[in-house]
Structure formats: structure tokens, C-alpha cells
Amino acid sequence: MPAARELLLDAAYTALGTRPWHGVRMVDVAAAAGVSRQTLYNEFGSKDGLARALVRREAESFLAGVERSLADAVGREDADAGDCCAAAAVWTLRTARANPLVRAALTGCRGERLPAQAVPAVP
């Protein structure tokens, strides 16, 4: 069974498919994951923490997919640099079409449905 963290991230991602981020309630995410709201706050600290973790997970998953597509292309006997670029491009386009967080990260086009972009703290 997946850990509470993954269940919570999955629930938050699913919630984004039905409503904008500002409409996603922590209590609903916790309930969908089958954990207490306190567990959610213990894991992420805040809704912003949940958003950062969700975006990080989706970005890491995207990059792992790029690596796999490149490794698959390189593993073919007749592959050249163009084949590798094409494999990475196909993965990127398919993933961006299916995943709004990846699409926003790649294009900079953020809709109101997505978490607000984090503003770096000024020292």
C-alpha cells in the first residue's frame, strides 16, 4: 500500500482535475486519501507545502520519463542523436498534454486552476 504522502499527493492531483487549486480544501484531500487532516498538515505543513510537493513530484516524474525515453532510444542499435531527441520530444508532448502541472512548468502558462507560483523569499 502506498505511503500516506503518496496517497495525499494523488488525492491533491485528482482534486485539481475537478476544481481550481483555490477550491481544493485540505479536509477534502485528507478524506480522499483516507487519512486525518492532521496527518496532511504533519506531512506538508500547509496548503502551499502540499502544492510545492505536488509540483516537485510531477516534475521529477516527468524528468524520469525523459530519462527512460532517452535510455530506450540509446538502447536501440541503429539509434542516432535525432532518434534520441525525437523520443524525448514525444515523451514531453504526450506528458504535457496529459498533465497540467507539467504543461505549466514547460510553457509558463499557468491557469487559475493551478497552485500559485512560489515567490522566492528575499534575504
pLDDT per residue as tens digits for the range 17-30? 889 999 999 999 99
CA 83 to the chain's CA centroid: 26
Question: What does the alpha-carbon distance between residue 56 and residue 64 come to, in Å, rounded to a whole number?
Answer: 12
- Is 107:121 a contact under the CB 8 Å cutoff? no
* Number of neighbours of residue 6 by Cβ within 10 angstroms: 12
- Is 104:43 a contact under the CB 8 Å cutoff? no
pLDDT of residue 5: 95
**How does pLDDT run across 32-56, given as a tens digit for each residue?**
999 999 999 999 999 999 999 999 9
* Number of neighbours of residue 13 by Cβ within 10 angstroms: 16
pLDDT of residue 25: 95
Task: Output DSSP code: residue 91.
Answer: H
The residue ranking higher by pLDDT, 34 or 117, is: 34
pLDDT of residue 75: 84
Rounded to an integer, the average pLDDT of 72-98 is: 90
Say which residue the cell 514525444 belongs to: 90
The residue ranking higher by pLDDT, 114 or 69, is: 69
Q: Which domains does the chain have, with CATH numbers?
A: 1-45 (1.10.10.60), 57-111 (no CATH)
Task: Output DSSP code: residue 76.
Answer: S
Query: Is the predicted pLDDT of residue 119 greater than 60, yes or no?
Result: no
- Is 97:62 a contact under the CB 8 Å cutoff? no
Q: pLDDT band at residue 117, thresholds of 50, 70 and 90?
A: low
pLDDT of residue 91: 95
pTM value is 0.83
Going from the C-alpha of 116 to that of each of 21, 69, 122, the distances in angstroms are 8, 30, 18
